[in-house]
Amino acid sequence: MNNFISTKGLSKETVELILSRAGDMEEECFQGKIKPLLKDKIIACIFFEPSTRTRLSFETAALKLGASVISAENAAENSSSHKGETIEDTTRILCGYADAIVYRHPTPGTALAAAKVSTKPIINAGDGPGEHPSQGMLDLYTIKKELKKSDDLTVVFAGDLLYSRTLKSLVPLLMLYPNNKFIFASPKELELPREYISELKKNGAVFTEQNDLKSAIAKADVLYMTRVQKERFADVEDYNKVKDLFILQKEDLKNLNQDAIIMHPLPRINEIDPAIDADPRAAYFREAQNGLYVRMALLLYALGL
Ligand code: NCD
């Protein structure tokens, strides 16, 4: 069995293996011939934070592979955590019911804490502003599929980089491949945490930071927009001040390379003008669809199948 807590420390070989499996899953879904490799397995999806894509694509992935699903989609209210139960105790109990546990939680480190006491594989489906490794994997899958490569790219991350967990899972994956460069474009208030920047420097990442979006667009092979994470702000006034500072408008696309792609983990609030959706470079809905295939592959990986 394999936990899937973080993309840091994954080998290129493991990543490629999972992505190739995801390709097989996509093909099987397309053909309508999916092998029921998870028959008789039970997958628990326990979400302490809202989710549409992540939870429902994990559940769909499990069902497509023949597993059954038990879930708490509002575990902060509906599980015993509301009464004060620790994640460790909840995990010990779920291990008696399920074969794998998918957790989303607002506190960084929660999936890791669960994994320490778990006898079943734990998948981190987002731990606050920490990581979101299955999103990182589906983002890499999308880049490879759309651009036919994963090296020698300039990837512009734009918006709320302070709280983005999807960035923190995608960057280590892209660093497995040669010559990838990052431009981190955000309002001053939403810059990447300084400790994270030091870590990137220590790990040899090639990147620049800037406080405007427009001048980065022309340089992008991948323009990765993010939502301002309202739920992470202690004061809603602080959120209101920054929420609309980075908006991609249709007229900005004239500066974007013809073969570049626009990505977004979704949900999109104001960051991307819906008029952009019809542009072939808008890859975000295809990206969300890829999540299903990648999560099928991740469930198989977690269960060692
Ligand atoms: C992201 C998340 O939850 O981190 N969404 C997702 O999983 N598709 C991004 C977000 O909520 O803004």
Residue 257 to residue 81: CA distance in whole angstroms: 48
> What was the pLDDT predicted at 111?
98
**206: β partners:** 181
Catalytic annotation, pick one of 7, 54, 90, 166: 54
Q: Cα of 266 to ligand 1 centre, how many Å?
A: 6
- Closest approach atom of ligand 1 to CA 227: 12
Is the N-terminal amide bond of 267 cis, ω within 30° of 0? yes
Angle between helix axes 110-117 and 87-94 (nearest 10 degrees) is: 50
Share of residues in the chain with pLDDT > 90 (%): 99
* Catalytic residue flag (residue 53): yes
| Interatomic CA distance for residues 205 and 199, integer angstroms | 9
| Count of C-beta atoms within a 10 Å radius of residue 201 | 10
At 298 the pLDDT is 98
Q: Is 136 in the pocket of ligand 1 (CB under 6 A)?
A: no
The pLDDT-based confidence of 216 (bands split at 50, 70, 90) is: very high
Determine the average pLDDT of the residues in 226-254. 96
CB 211 within 8 A of CB 187: yes
Q: What is the DSSP letter of 149?
A: -
Query: Distance of CA 102 to CAs 105, 111, 291, Å?
Result: 10, 9, 14
Q: What is the mean pLDDT of residues 268-290?
A: 97
Centre of ligand 1 to C-alpha 265, Å, is 6
Strands 42-47 and 100-105: parallel
Confirm or reject: Cβ of 53 under 6 Å from ligand 1. Answer: yes
Q: What is the pLDDT of residues 108-167, one digit of tens each?
A: 999 999 999 999 999 999 999 999 999 999 999 999 999 999 999 999 999 999 999 999
Cα–Cα distance for residue pair 125/84, rounded to 1 Å: 22
Give the residue whose CA is nearest to atom 6 of ligand 1. 265
The rounded mean pLDDT for the chain is 97
Exposure letters 175-194 (e unless 16+ CB within 10 A, then b): bbbeebbbbbbbbeebbbee
**Beta 122-127 vs 68-72: how paired, if at all?**
unpaired
Instruction: Tell me what pLDDT residue 15 has.
Output: 98
- Active-site residue 105, yes or no? no
Nearest-atom index, ligand 1, CA of 132:
4
Q: Pick from 132, 163, 165, 298 the residue to mutate for probing ligand 1's pocket: most ligand atoms within 8 Å of its CB.
A: 132
- Angle 154-156-159 from CA coordinates, rounded to 5°: 175
CA distance 32 to 234: 47
Report, in angstroms and rounded to the nearest whole number, the Rg of the chain calculated over CA atoms.
19
pLDDT band at residue 281 using 50, 70 and 90 as cut-offs: very high
Please report the pLDDT score of residue 59 as a whole number: 98
Dihedral angle computed from the Cα positions of residues 253, 257, 258 and 260, in that order, rounded to the nearest 10 degrees: -100
Q: Tell me, using a 6 A CB cutoff, whether residue 165 lines ligand 1.
A: yes
* Backbone torsions φ then ψ of 160, nearest 5 degrees: -85, 90
Task: Find the catalytic residue in 132, 168, 243, 295.
Answer: 132
As given in the structure block, the two tokens for residue 156 are 């512009």
Angle at CA 281, nearest 5°, toward 24 and 131?
A: 60
What confidence score (pLDDT) does residue 20 get?
98
Residue 40 alpha carbon to ligand 1 centre in Å: 30
Query: In the prediction, which pLDDT does 182 show?
Result: 98
For the chain, percent of residues with pLDDT exceeding 70: 100
Q: What is the pLDDT of residue 80?
A: 92
State the pLDDT at residue 68: 98
- State the average pLDDT over residues 3-7: 98
pLDDT at 43: 98
Q: Is 266 left (phi over 0), alpha (psi -120 to 50) or beta?
A: left
User: Could you report the per-residue pLDDT of 38-85, keeping only the tens digit for each?
Assistant: 999 999 999 999 999 999 999 999 999 999 999 999 999 989 999 999
54 touches ligand 1 (CB under 6 Å): yes
